[in-house]
């Protein structure tokens, strides 16, 4: 039986949701004993507490989940695989204690903590890039053997010279070049979409973040960046997911720099920290990045449905 686009849309949704839930359950229950800090009061941070082994295990978990999700979500668009992997390692964020455990143990000037957290954001950005590369490589390997299994992008500009649809890639910050040429307008629209997504996400995060409690932080990050990514992609659908997914890490960088400037002095300075200063680097990656990918993925599906409905309406009129 030939599957209709409606069936494929549902299949994609089921694959991505099951892969994401399975990843969270695996990390939350099975991998947490090897990923958690040695002190149960410490949050999940790598550089500040000198835990390179934990960073390596976290990287391994993210990359393995990316490879497995790329196989499990083969019928979905590639953002679904990366989303499942990022949300999967979010089990670490769900289990992590609050930032204050680290602040209690810190003996030097409190503003120095945020310098280490910025370095950790850079590490997580590199890990995310490798995870996206893994998804691409796995999907290309599958395409070499069973190209019909991959998601068919109905919004693609067109087929290649041999009549085959090009493989949808995650990497790349610019939209596909027209006529094989780079145009400044492509970069301008990409930067405009990134700016819009960042402004909307940060504004919503400030509004939603009402306390430093872990559940409140994760909810605020997920909701803010989901809506910010949807807003940017709905208005500027040419934006590539690689440009969108980096927005939470850029926002985290800005908030950590602001925290370094705004941190008060004194022994009890940690009590006066703003709520945004209590967001862990892994939270920016998992909850923020996961929310961004969900928003982008949902927005793409909406654009696709509108395109198909418009095409069917045109056929009906003809």
- The pLDDT tens digits for 229-253 are 999 999 998 888 888 899 999 999 9
- Cβ contacts of residue 20 below 8 Å, gap of 6+? 69, 83, 84, 87, 88
What is residue 60's predicted lDDT score, i.e. its pLDDT?
97
Q: Which two tokens stand for residue 31?
A: 């991998």
pLDDT higher than 80, residue 187: no
Q: Comparing 264 with 70, which gets the higher pLDDT? A: 70
CA distance 46 to 56: 9
Q: Which of 18-32, 160-174, 210-224 has the lowest mean pLDDT?
A: 160-174
CA–CA gap between residue 89 and residue 194 (Å, rounded): 25
Res 175 pLDDT > 60: no
Residue 271 pLDDT: 72
- The number of beta carbons lying within 10 Å of the beta carbon of residue 242 is 19
Segments in the chain forming alpha helices (H): 5-25, 32-35, 52-72, 78-88, 90-95, 100-105, 111-145, 184-208, 214-235, 241-245, 247-262, 281-283, 289-317
Burial environment of residue 287 by CB neighbours within 10 A (0 to 12, 13 to 18, 19 or more): buried
- More confident of the two residues 262 and 136: 136
Contact 186, 173 (CB under 8 A): no
pLDDT at 110 over 90: no
pTM: 0.90
Mean pLDDT for the stretch of residues 33-62: 88
Q: What is the mean pLDDT of residues 288-307?
A: 92
For residue 240, what is the DSSP state?
A: -
Q: Average pLDDT for residues 154-160, to the nearest whole number? A: 52
Helices 247-262 and 184-208: angle between axes, nearest 10 degrees: 50
Instruction: Answer yes or no: is pLDDT of 161 > 90.
Output: no
Residue 216 scores a pLDDT above 90: yes
Q: What confidence score (pLDDT) does residue 149 get?
A: 81
């Amino acid at each position: 039986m030939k599957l209709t686009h409606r069936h494929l849309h549902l299949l994609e949704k089921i694959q991505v949701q099951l892969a994401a839930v399975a990843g969270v359950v695996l990390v939350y229950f099975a991998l947490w004993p090897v990923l958690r800090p040695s002190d149960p009061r410490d949050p999940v941070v790598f550089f500040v507490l000198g835990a390179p082994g934990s960073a390596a295990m976290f990287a391994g978990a993210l990359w393995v989940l990316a490879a497995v999700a790329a196989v499990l979500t083969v019928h979905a668009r590639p953002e679904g695989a990366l989303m499942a992997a990022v949300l999967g390692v979010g089990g670490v964020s769900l289990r992590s204690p609050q930032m204050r455990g680290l602040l209690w143990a810190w003996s030097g000037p409190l503003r120095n903590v945020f310098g280490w957290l910025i370095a950790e954001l850079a590490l997580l950005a590199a890990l995310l890039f490798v995870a996206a590369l893994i998804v691409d490589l796995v999907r290309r390997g599958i395409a070499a053997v069973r190209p019909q299994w991959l998601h068919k992008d109905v919004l693609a500009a067109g087929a290649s010279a041999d009549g085959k649809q090009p493989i949808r890639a995650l990497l790349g910050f610019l939209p596909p070049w027209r006529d094989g040429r780079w145009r400044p307008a492509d970069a301008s629209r990409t930067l405009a979409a990134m700016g819009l997504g960042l402004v909307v996400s940060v504004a919503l995060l400030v509004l939603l973040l009402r306390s430093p409690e872990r559940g409140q932080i994760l909810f605020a990050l997920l909701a803010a960046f989901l809506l910010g990514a949807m807003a940017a992609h709905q208005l500027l659908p040419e934006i590539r997911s690689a440009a969108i997914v980096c927005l939470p890490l850029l926002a985290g960088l800005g908030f950590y720099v602001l925290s370094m400037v705004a941190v008060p002095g004194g022994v009890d300075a940690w009590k006066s920290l703003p709520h945004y200063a209590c967001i862990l680097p892994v939270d920016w990656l998992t909850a923020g990045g996961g929310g961004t990918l969900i928003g982008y993925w949902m927005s793409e599906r909406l654009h696709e449905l509108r395109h198909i409905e418009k095409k069917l309406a045109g056929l009906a009129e003809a």
